[in-house]
């Protein structure tokens, strides 16, 4: 529970959770558990004291993580009974991430590709690559070599 997650959860889509702060990491980790099905809908989520112990933070900080999940309609706290994962929270989070994906990944990747000179066809060979027969073959100039008529 106290381990940081990796992969998709470390990306820009979770930036709004404040992952750089302890309560944001807690909220992001629990959100990842809900999304992956590790923490199923309807199941009791860890308490603030359990989270505080697992993450080495104060109960107040852990409670802020739970509060953040509550504002995102991921969990419901029942006084004296605990915090439970809300029905539909997995699908709501998946929808949020799908909607945020183009802006978080696709558009920045297209901008970077344009800066690097990568087109829809792939890598554009440099002048040196086009003129130097000893230059290593890239997918782009290999294709050109195969489709160019022999002289």
Percent of the chain with pLDDT over 90: 60
Q: Tokens representing 79? A: 């006084």
Q: Are 1 and 29 in contact (CB under 8 A)?
A: yes
The model's pLDDT over 77-87, given as tens digits with 9 standing for 90+, comes to 999 999 999 99
> Is-above-0.75 flag for pTM?
no
The model's pLDDT over 122-141, given as tens digits with 9 standing for 90+, comes to 666 666 666 665 555 555 55
CATH for 7-88 is 1.10.10.10
Selected residue with higher pLDDT from 150 and 59: 59
Selected residue with higher pLDDT from 18 and 121: 121
Domain ranges across the chain: 7-88, 91-147
Tell how strand 118-119 and strand 82-85 pair up: unpaired
What is the helix, strand, coil percentage profile of the chain, to 5? 60, 10, 35
pLDDT value, residue 128: 65
């Amino acid at each position: 529970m106290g381990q940081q997650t990796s992969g998709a959860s470390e990306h820009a889509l979770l930036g709004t959770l404040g992952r750089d702060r302890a309560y944001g990491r807690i909220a992001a980790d629990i959100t990842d558990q809900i999304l992956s099905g590790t923490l199923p809908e309807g199941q009791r989520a860890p308490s603030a004291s359990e989270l505080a112990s697992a993450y080495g933070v104060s109960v107040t900080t852990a409670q802020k993580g739970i509060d953040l999940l509550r504002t995102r309609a991921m969990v419901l706290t029942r006084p004296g009974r605990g915090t439970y994962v809300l029905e539909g929270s997995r699908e709501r989070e998946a929808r949020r991430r799908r909607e945020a994906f183009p802006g978080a990944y696709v558009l920045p990747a297209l901008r970077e590709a344009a800066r690097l000179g990568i087109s829809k066809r792939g890598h554009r060979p440099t002048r040196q690559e086009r003129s130097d027969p000893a230059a290593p073959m890239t997918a782009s100039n290999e294709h050109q070599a195969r489709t160019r008529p022999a002289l």
